[in-house]
Amino acid sequence: MLDRIEFLLSEAIISLRRNRGMTFASIVASALALVIVGGFTLTYVGLSKYVNEQVSKFEMKVFARQDATPDQVTNLGNQIKKLEGVNGVSFKSKAEVWAEWKKEEPAITAGLELDNPMPDTFTVTFDNLEKVNEVKDLVSNMPEVAPNDGVQLSGEVQDFLQEVMASLRWLGLALGIVTLITGGILIYNTIRLTMNSRRKELRIMELVGAAKSTVRIPLLIEGITHGVLGALCATLILWIGHGVILKVMSGIPFSKVAPFPLFATMFSLAVAGAIYGYICSNLAIRENPKEATAR
């Protein structure tokens, strides 16, 4: 058993050494593809985490109509709580709002006897930023809400963050697909080149009764090696890039960059690279080796 494993590994190493130029090119292409995919994934995950941390800071003020009855105000609050995406609803009566405003602006109200102009106010928080605009539209159309500026958002930046995340997702997907295809073609061609350069050896192995697995496994190992080495190179590039970004961001106030998940990234990309290399090499040897070697 050990002799067989040693033989298969030695055959794979021979192939890697024999086609050094193509091997180097396929590893570089794999690394580039995984850098793009991994880089955009890490950026998207980091941005998603940041957005989720900011969710509690987004609030929506809902002002009830001045002529709304207490029952109507209560009903409005209950309706808002039932909406999808709403995390919580707090209420302040017009008397409480008026008292707070007079306390904050004593110079304006000092010596004046004014009727309370403040509305009953609800403060709405969210657990899903994607639902903010939908909730805003639904609440604005409720009959108990003040008709003019009855709903006010204190976090308009959420639209920008959502647009950035959507653009990042599609850009990463497009670039990732292009580079994965490019790297896959190089791995495929490397394996085919190995088969062509060793066609006589492969043919002799078949004639002496070697199993198909004996012929194919070294080629699969070669493809997997390309993917894994590309993943290790990609991890190194991402780690260096993260260090550069961290150094640049350290001079910007209130900026925060999460630590680089080195081992998690290395493991994830290595698994992805191995699967990627296996698929590409498997496609390359799908054709019967006997037909390939007969050419």
Quick check: 168 pLDDT over 50?
Answer: yes
Query: Which is more confident, 163 or 121?
Result: 121
Query: How distant, in Å, are the alpha carbons of 51, 91, 230, 276 from that of 34?
Result: 25, 50, 7, 10
pLDDT tens for each residue of 34-59: 888 888 778 777 777 776 666 666 78
Two structure tokens written together for 281: 């090499």
What is the number of H-type helices and E-type strands within the chain?
11, 4
Q: What is the mean pLDDT of residues 223-229?
A: 86
Domains of the chain, earliest start first: 2-53+160-293 (no CATH), 59-154 (3.30.70.3040)
CB atoms within 10 A of CB 242: 19
Least confident of 97-101, 183-187, 228-232: 183-187
8 A C-beta contact, residue 273 and residue 200: no
288 pLDDT exceeds 60? no
Give Cα 174 distance to the centre of its chain.
Answer: 13
pLDDT at 236 > cutoff 90: yes
pTM > 0.75 = no
**Residue 289, pLDDT score:** 46
